[in-house]
Homo-oligomer: A and B are copies of this chain.
Amino acid sequence: MDWKGRHVLVTGGAGFIGSHVADRALASGAHVTVYDDFSTGLREYVPKHERATLVEGSLLDQKMLDAAMHGVDFVFHMAANADIKDNLKSPRKCIDQNIVVTQNVLEAMRAAGTKEIAFASTGSVYGEPKVFPTPEDAPFPVQTSIYATSKIAAEGLLSSYALGYGFHTWVFRFVSVLGPRYTHGHVYDFWRKLVADPTKLVVLGNGKQEKSYLHVSDCVAAMFVAIDKAQGPINVFNLGHPGVLQVDDSVSIITRTMKVSPRIEHTGGERGWVGDSPRIELDTSRIRSLGWAHTKTIEESVVETLTFLMANPFVTRRGGV
């Protein structure tokens, strides 16, 4: 796809992955509107560029969203409530911020005549899969969290609009994404805990959970490859890294990089929290068949994330979780 001169809107464009998407679209020659309410996004991440515009507002504000959508050719819908651990406590927030908001975006697109949208979904939609690595057409899973439920609902809204209104949609099911500007997830949590108390670290679960991690630059590159090469109305891609890292191994890398030697306490149990998947490893053959490959190892991603966090303590200013 030739992005030059196209008008791209990135929801959550001041967030971790969203801001990288905005940068990449700008580098490809697009005009970019960053739409963010700074509930978890950071002003430091908003691209400073002559082709970049910032709209500060909520996606629940349909009028503001409709106005921002005017003239937009392509939407990256990256904004979300990603408060996975706690969403059982505030399910309505998750429904509003992930389902209703997605429908608002689709309605704004329909009103503006915008027909192309890429969406940040999650590998958590596979619940506790029986097949590893898990392909896109794995056996129909039972949803194990409100977060994943809200993401699968948003995916369904996209595909329904694709069939009903001729939209082109790209759904990306991410593993955990790491790298510069990362401000959410276990590496962030561990880092904050260790800054506060380098002598002790509480790890949720038994530390044996196996997760896959993808570097944000590889993640964004994969999205752009898919959009370039997969042109059907509904395109679903797992984005991940082959292999997994045990949480305990992740802790070792983190403590080594931070040069601390805490006493590790496990809270116990196979899952870090209700709805946590003990193992996430996605089959990424589909995106690889289009020519994409990862360039960073999982360990490199963890180290780079920590290096960023240590050099940019302002990230703890972010709101939300």
Measuring CB to CB, which residues of chain A are less than 8 angstroms from any residue of chain B? 88, 91-92, 95, 99-100, 103, 106-107, 126-127, 136-146, 148-150, 152-153, 155-157, 159-161, 163-165, 234, 236, 274-275
Contact = CB atoms under 8 A, between A and B. Distances in A.
22 contacts: A92-B100, A95-B99, A126-B140, A127-B159, A137-B139, A138-B139, A138-B140, A139-B139, A140-B140, A143-B159, A143-B160, A144-B159, A144-B160, A144-B163, A145-B160, A146-B156, A146-B160, A149-B156, A152-B156, A153-B156, A160-B275, A163-B275
A164 B274 contact: yes
Contacts of A146: 156-157, 160
Contacts of A106: 91
What's the dominant secondary structure at chain A's contact region?
helix
Contacts of A88: 160-161, 164-165
Contacts of A91: 103, 106-107, 157, 160
A2 B286 CA distance: 50
Copies of this chain, how many? 2
A142 B236 contact: yes
A136 B140 contact: yes
Contacts of A164: 88, 274-275
Contact of A150 (B138, B143, B145, B153): B153
Contacts of A145: 160, 163
A108 B88 CA distance: 14
Nearest to A100: B95
Given A103-B91, A103-B95, A160-B149, A143 B155 contact: yes
A163 to B, nearest CB: 5
A116 to B, nearest CB: 17
A104 to B, nearest CB: 9
